[in-house]
Structure formats: C-alpha cells, structure tokens
Amino acid sequence: MLEFRSVSFGFDDVGVLEDVSLSIPDGEFVVLAGANGSGKTTLLRHCNGLLSPDEGTVLVDGTSVEDDVIGARTSVGMVFQHPRDQFVAATVGDDVAFGPANLGLGREEIDRRVAEALGAVNLRGREDERIDRLSGGEQSRVAIAGALAMEPTHLVLDEPFTGLDEPARRSVVGRLEALAADGTGILLATHDLRDVLGLADRVIAMADGRVVVDDRPDRALEELDGLPVRVPRARADLEERC
Amino acid sequence: MLTYEPGETVVHDLDPRSKLAVQIGFAATALAHTAPRALLGLSVVTAVVLALARVPVVRTLYAYRFALVILALGPLVAAATLGPPWIDLEAGLATALASYRVLLILLVSAAYVRTTPVRESRAAIQRTVPGKPGQLLGIGVALVFRFLPVVQSDLRTIRDASAARLGTERSARERATTIGLLGLSRTFDRADRLSLALRARCFSWNPTLPALAFARRDAPTLGVAVALLLTAFL
Amino acid sequence: MATEQGDVDLVDGDVVHAFARAALLATLLGAVAPIAIPIPFSPAPITLQVLFVFLAGLLLGPLWGTVSILLYLAAGAIGLPVFAGMAGGLGVLVGDSAGYLWSYPLAAGLIGLLVHRGTDLRDPAEVSTPLVVVALVTATVLIYGMGVGYMAWLLELELWEAITVGALPFIPGEVLKIAAAVAIVESGRIDTV
C-alpha cells in the first residue's frame, strides 16, 4: 500500500505539490496523467524518498518513507525517463545485479533475481550483451528489470515511452500488462494515454500540484475534458477497447 | 585501438590481481635498470608474456604510437648538441636504452588490457582497495566504461552541429569553449539523472562484491611478480 | 516492508550526486582524448584534456575534482581507451607522459583549493577573474613541471631537452585553454555541485 497523507512540497524544477492525499492498494494499475510541470514527477519522487515532503507523510505499507528509506526503495521500484542514463554497468546482467548487490544479498540469490527479472521483460539469457548495442525498447526493458530485481510490490514509471518508436512502445506496454497480471502494482506517469488507459484500474490527473481527477478510467476521461491535461487520442482508444 | 578480447589463453584465465602484480613488478624493475644486460632479460620476459597472451604486436605498437613518437624523438634530442661535435652519441645511447625499457613496460601492460574484461578489473579494485575509496573507484570505473560510448556520441553531435554552423572557420579558442561548454552541460545533465537512478537502486557502501577467486595457477604468477619486484633492488 | 536489509549503508544523496558528476566528467575527459584542434604557429595541435582538468577543479572543487581525475586514471590503467591516442594500460601511468597524467589530480585539487578555499563550493562565476587565472596558470606550471621533470628523469634527458620536447610546442595551446576555461565558468551556464 502506497499512501500520501496531506503532502505538500515547495520547490523542485519538475513541479510542486499542494496537499496531496492518495492511497494506492497493492496490485492496482494506476495511470497518472498531467502536463509537464503539473507535479507528476515530484509526486513519484516522494514514493521512495528521493524527495521528502515539506508537510505531510508518505507511507509505504504503513511505514513512513523517512523512517525506512531502504524499505521504501526496495518496495517501490522506480524507472525514470531516459533509460540510457540509468545504467551503471556496460552489460545487461551486471546492470540488473546492481540493486540486489547493494542490498548485500548472496551471489546465488542475486543471480536468481537477475534471471527472473530478465525473464519478466522477455530478455532471459541476454546477461552478457552490451547495453549500448540494444534497441531503445530493449534498453527500457532492461531498466525495468533493474527495478524488478529489487522484488518491489509497486513499480513506478515516469514517462517510460519518451523517445520510443511504436513497436518498442508496444513491447514495453505488453510487459507492464503481464507484470500487472502477476500482481505487481503499477503507477505509470505519462501524458500519452493511448492503449495504457485500457489496462488501468484507475486514472489520477494532476494540475498545478493538485490531484484534480481520481476515478475509474471511463469516468475519469469525461472529467479530464476542460482540464489542462493533454489526452491525445485517448478517447478513441478507450472506445475501441470497451 | 587496444581493448579486451575474449580468448582461451592461460593469461585470460589468471586472476586480474596476479596480472596487476606482474605488471607492477615488471615496471618497478624496468624503471630501476637501463643496463643492456638487464634490458635483454626484460625483453625475454616481455616476449614470453606477449606470446602467452597472444598479443598482436604491430597493432599494439600502433595503439601506443603517441608514446612511440616521444620515445623515438628522445634519443635524437639527447644526441644533438649545440656546437661541435654536434652529436653526442653517448647521451643519445643512454636515452635510447631508457626509452626502450618504457616500450617494454607498455607492451607488458598491453597483455593485461587484452586479456582482462573491465568487470574483472572492477572486481579486483573493489576487493583490493579497502572501504569507501574502493567502492567509489570500482563503481566509478564501471561508470566510465558504461558511459564512454554515450559521451563520445554526444561529442560527435556537438562537433557536427558546430561544424555545420561554419564552426571550422571560427577561432580555436571559440571551438574549445563551445566543445567544453556544451560537452560539460550535457554530461552534467546525464550525471544528475544517473544520480537519481543510483539512489533509487540503493547505491550503498557495502554491497555484495563481484565474485573473484585466486586459483592454483595464480601461485606461480604471483611468484614471478615477487621475483621481478626483488630484481628492482639488484 | 522488508527489514532484513537493516545493515545496508546507503551512500548519502549529496555524495551520490557529486560522485555521478565526477564519474561522468572523468568519462568526458577520456572521450575528448582523440579530439585535436590545430592552432597557428605551433607544430602541436591542442588536445582538450587539460581544459577538462581545469573544469574539474573549477566546477567540482578540490575533493570531487581530484576524485574525478583519479577515476580517469584508474579507468585508463585497467585498459579503457582514454589516454592520448585512445591508448590505455597501466604502463602509460609510468611511461613518458606519466608525469603529466599524475599531475592532473593534483592540478584539479590545487585549482579547487585556490578558487573555492575549501570543500564548500562557491559559484566560480562569482570569483574574481584574476584569481581564476592565477589558479589556472599555477596549475599549468605544476602540470608542465611534473610532466617535463619526470620525462627528463625517465628518458635520461637534460632538463632543457625535455622542455623542448615536452613543453615549448604546447604553450600557445595552454594560453588558449585557460581563456576557454575562464569563458566557460563566467558564462554561468553550468552550476556547481
């Protein structure tokens, strides 16, 4: 369970937060919509203590993030924009092993987690490949595997589709769908809602640091009209699926 | 360019720490001696190392061409004298011998580069340098390896863009400033994003270290390293 | 939440930030190794490595500037192609140019100390230009002093011979790099750690 209790945050170059209260149960697929600067990224960075609230509390499974940063960072896996800048090792296997190794886990456990995380993103057996020789979509999936190797209950993704072409985007969406089906909670920030809306249990929209919509996808879409939230092609996509 | 290449040689199988020890021993004794007899012995050791590691000699010499220019120029400059007899052969010979040992040191280190993947070097650093410095050095080296192609491609983009705006006709100072400024701001943007990812993935001072273990075959190698080091004091 | 990882000793956020910048500046220092800009009236084209040694001290300060250059040397020592001519290997660190290479971390540290007066960083754009220039000139003297001194010892050359080979051809380039470094920090477009 991820909980925000009256969280306010004053300044960050990616936006502010004003009195945000939310709770996201385990296993829920949430799409977080909003324009650039609406506070999406700021909100996400509070989930694992990369930012700390000026007022209010963020809790992961009932414990304040500030009281157990390591717990929050293992329970909430985070994937950022620009996967190229998130890798710490040149090869796939070494990179995915970085998180578990930091937790001080045994060699065998690390290897097991790396294999499992790569399997979850359809890259099993590619441990020894060089990351800079992979396609953009494969790099995104390695970044996701790096987060999954921490065995998180929630996976948080900030604009993971930036710079991806259509097939790559679809391959990432497909993996998210499979992870959600296996019970991983997903919090996906994007301003490009097509085809992820159909997967979502819930849509949260932000504007000027506040939550302005929080509803089921079909109802949320109507409420999004007239708000400063860009929803390109979302309606058509949802109608197609429903 | 001289880089690691996977292979089956005995040198590939050695622990990187034994190979580092041999290099240090060799460099120490080479820096201590310039007598022709000592250089002959060092040449034999070099030849054996190159053969065992199957180092392609011509390509390696080309990789070190910048150093070779200085090493070739040195004896000429040393031999030249202002005024008669214009040439001092003895000084030239002394520098030639001194230069030659540097060439041998470079060739021996080429054997390490060719047979040791970066991940093993990183493991060796983290297991040899104690505490926090070892961790920063090991991860830092891995990051340089990871980001080198990324930053190289950034620099290509910057140079192409500035050349497209008639950059080649601008002064050298302006070009240096442009490359420095744009290169640095892009690199720091990447670093700031990387630091978030490092934190999210629990970058810690006490991780599980990469696997690395001495084997029986490392014992004679370490013996050679110690022997080389001792000859430095002869 | 998982609590069995209670003994994980996280690296402090500020340290991670400074370290990431130091590591990527080291990468940049290696990536500019093959770039050579020809300059008039000098047989030697300039390379930009010393420029980034200057910038390491100016923008990362005495501690992380030095760390950055040490990472560069370590990366080269294990064989990454980051030294001049895209060479690598431990041998280079005792070879003919070793004096220059080992002077770099000291030069970055010295610039950092002179400009920032400690490990709390100041904005170098606010520091008086003469002070920055004095720091860079001092660092240049250190670099060439160590570079030429070691070369003379290693290759058994007279000092003036080593200066002829290892310093004179490069002086016009150094003046230019100092000017470029000053222009970059005074542009105020790059913030410190």
Q: Which residues of A touch C3 (CB under 8 A)?
A: 68, 71
Q: Please give the full DSSP string across B181-197, using - where no structure is assigned.
A: HHHHHHHHHHHHHHHHH
Choices 3.40.50.2300, 3.20.20.70, 1.10.1760.20, 3.40.50.300: CATH for C13-186 = 1.10.1760.20
How many contiguous H segments (helices) and E segments (strands) does chain A have?
A: 9, 10
Residue B181 has pLDDT above 90, yes or no: yes
| Three-state secondary structure call for residue C36 | strand
Residue A52 pLDDT:
94
| Chain CA centroid to CA A54, Å | 23
Res. A54: pLDDT tops 50: yes
- pLDDT in the model for residue A240: 47
The C-alpha atoms of residue C161 and residue C153 are separated, in whole angstroms, by 11
Closest to C121 in 3D by CA, of C51, C186, C65, C71: C65
Which of C1, C7, C14, C191 to mutate to probe the A interface, most A CBs <10 Å?
Answer: C1
pLDDT digits (tens, 9 = 90+) for C25-81: 999 999 998 887 776 655 666 778 999 999 999 999 999 999 999 999 999 999 999
* Token pair of C149 as six digits: 């001194």
Q: What is the ipTM of this complex?
A: 0.94
**Chains near B, with 3+ CB pairs < 8 A?**
A, C
Q: What is the pLDDT of residue C170?
A: 87
Of all residues in chain C, the one with the smallest CA distance to A65 is: C1
Q: Percent of chain A at pLDDT above 90?
A: 75
Spell out the domain ranges in chain C. Answer: 13-186
What integer pLDDT is reported at residue C42 of this predicted model? Answer: 58
Please state, in angstroms and rounded to a whole number, the distance separating the CA atoms of residues A225 and C130: 59
Rounded average pLDDT over B67-75? 90
pLDDT value, residue B96: 95
| Stretch B105-132: mean pLDDT | 95
Residues 6+ apart with CB under 8 A from B208: A100, A101, A103, A104, A105, A106, A107, A110
Question: Which of C26, C46, C92 is opposite residue B106, by nearest beta carbon?
Answer: C92
Mind listing the domains of chain A with CATH numbers? 2-241 (3.40.50.300)
- pLDDT given at position A242: 43
Is the pLDDT reported for residue B168 higher than 90? no
The string of pLDDT tens digits covering residues A66-109 is 999 999 999 999 999 888 999 999 999 999 999 999 999 999 99
What pLDDT is attached to residue C39? 66
Q: How far apart are CA C117 and CA C104, in angstroms?
A: 19
Q: State how far residue B199 is from chain A, nearest Cα, in angstroms.
A: 7
Report pLDDT for C86: 84
**Which among C75, C9, A99, C166 is positioned nearest to B66, based on CA atoms?**
C166
Q: What are phi and psi of A227, to 5 degrees?
A: -100, 155
Q: How confident is the model at residue C126 (pLDDT cuts 50, 70, 90)?
A: confident
* C171-186 and B172-200 helices, crossing angle to 10°: 60
Instruction: Judge whether C9 and B204 are in contact, CB under 8 Å.
Output: yes
Gap between the Cα atoms of C100 and C97, Å rounded = 6
Instruction: Please give the DSSP secondary-structure letter assigned to residue C12.
Output: P
Average of per-residue pLDDT across A48-60: 95
pLDDT band per the 50, 70, 90 thresholds, residue C1: very low
For chain C, list the contacting chains (3+ Cβ pairs, <8 Å): A, B
Residue C166: per-residue pLDDT: 87
For a pLDDT cut of 90, what percent of chain B falls above it?
77
Average pLDDT over residues B30-42: 94
Query: Is pLDDT at C3 greater than 50 in this prediction?
Result: no
Question: For the segment A173-197, what is each residue's pLDDT rounded down to a tens digit?
Answer: 999 999 999 999 999 998 778 778 8
Token pair of A201, please? 């249990």
**Cα distances (Å, whole numbers) of residue A134 to A35, A85, A95, A157:** 30, 14, 13, 20
Q: Which of C121, C123, C110 is nearest to C14 (CA)?
A: C121
Please name the residues between 26 and 85 in chain C that touch chain B, using a CB distance below 8 Å: 26-28, 30-32, 35, 37-39, 46, 48, 51-52, 55, 59, 67, 70-72, 74-75, 78-82, 84-85
Hey, is the C-beta of A48 within 8 angstroms of any chain C C-beta?
no
What confidence tier does C7 reach under pLDDT thresholds 50, 70, 90?
confident
CA distances from C47 to B45, B227, C94 (A): 35, 40, 21
Cα pseudo-dihedral C58, C60, C62, C63, rounded to 10: -170
- CB distance C187 to B181 below 8 Å: yes
Q: Which of B58-62, B185-189, C38-42, C70-74 has the lowest mean pLDDT?
A: C38-42
Considering only the C-alpha atoms of chain A, give the largest distance between any 2 of them, rounded to a whole number of Å.
54
Residues in chain B within 8 Å Cβ distance of A106: 208
CA distance C86 to C147: 19
What pLDDT does B161 receive? 83
Q: What are phi and psi of A16, to 5 degrees?
A: -115, 170
Q: Find the closest chain A residue to C24 by CA distance.
A: A85
The chain-wide mean pLDDT, for chain A, equals 90
- DSSP structure string for C83-142: BGGGB-SGGGGTSTTHHHHHHHHHHHHHHHHHHHSSSSPP-GGGS-HHHHHHHHHHHHHH
Q: Are C97 and C82 contacting, i.e. CB atoms less than 8 angstroms apart?
A: no
Q: How far apart are CA B4 and CA B12, in angstroms?
A: 10
Checking DSSP bridges between strand C46-47 and strand C36-37, what pairing results, if any? antiparallel
Burial of C149 (0-12, 13-18, 19+ CB in 10 A): middle
**For the packed helices C129-154 and C171-186, what is the interaxial angle rounded to 10 degrees?**
150
Question: Which chain C residues are within 8 Å of B185, Cβ to Cβ?
Answer: 189-190
Q: What pLDDT score was predicted for residue C85?
A: 81
Mean predicted lDDT score pLDDT of chain B = 92
CA dihedral C131, C137, C138, C142 (to 10 degrees): 160
d(CA B102, CA C92): 9
**Under 8 Å CB-to-CB from A40, ≥6 apart: which residues?**
A15, A32, A33, A34, A158, A189, A206
DSSP state of A130: B
* Touching A: C residues 117-156, CB under 8 Å: none
DSSP run (H or E) holding A63: strand A63-64
What confidence score (pLDDT) does residue A228 get? 58
Question: Chain A closest CA to C8's CA: distance in Å?
Answer: 6
